């Protein structure tokens, strides 16, 4: 139909911790959702999967971005900007990017993740 029903899943070390709302019938979704999560001191990565909800079959993975512990160390004030989606399945071509704001606050390792929009 030329559009998707996108939503995002945020995983820390492959454990799903957040699911955004689904934005229906669009290729340019806006979420504007902000989440705070306590990070385990030994975490390795934060992955954000952009999904396409499908009522009749399994939801499709549009693409993902991965933010490693080292990337967060390189950006001590956090990261904000557009990130290109990468493929989850090597046989799939991926186009698109997601606008995120991610920062780790304080000694309690509080992750503040804002999923803004995608295109």
Residue spans per domain, the chain: 6-118
pLDDT digit string, tens, across residues 33-59: 999 999 888 999 999 999 999 989 999
Does pTM top 0.85 for this prediction? Answer: yes
Whether 28 has a pLDDT exceeding 90, the answer reads yes
115-118 own/partner pairs: CB under 8 Å, 24+ apart: 115/8, 115/10, 115/20, 115/31, 115/32, 115/33, 115/34, 115/35, 115/48, 116/30, 116/31, 116/32, 117/28, 117/29, 117/30, 117/31, 117/32, 118/6, 118/8, 118/28, 118/29, 118/50
* 110 compared with 106, residue with greater pLDDT: 110
Whether 26 has a pLDDT exceeding 90, the answer reads yes
Question: Per-residue confidence at 1, pLDDT binned at 50, 70, 90?
Answer: low
Superfamily of domain 6-118: C2 domain (2.60.40.150)
């Amino acid at each position: 139909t030329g559009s998707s029903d996108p939503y995002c899943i945020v995983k820390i070390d492959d454990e799903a911790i957040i699911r955004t709302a689904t934005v229906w019938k669009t290729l340019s979704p806006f979420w504007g959702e902000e989440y705070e999560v306590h990070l385990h001191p030994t975490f390795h990565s934060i992955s954000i999967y952009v999904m396409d909800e499908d009522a009749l079959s399994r939801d499709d993975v549009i693409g993902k971005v991965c933010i490693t512990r080292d990337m967060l160390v390189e950006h001590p004030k956090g990261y904000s900007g557009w990130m290109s989606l990468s493929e989850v399945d090597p046989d799939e071509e991926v186009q698109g990017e997601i606008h995120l704001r991610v920062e780790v606050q304080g000694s309690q390792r509080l992750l503040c993740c804002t999923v803004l929009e995608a295109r």
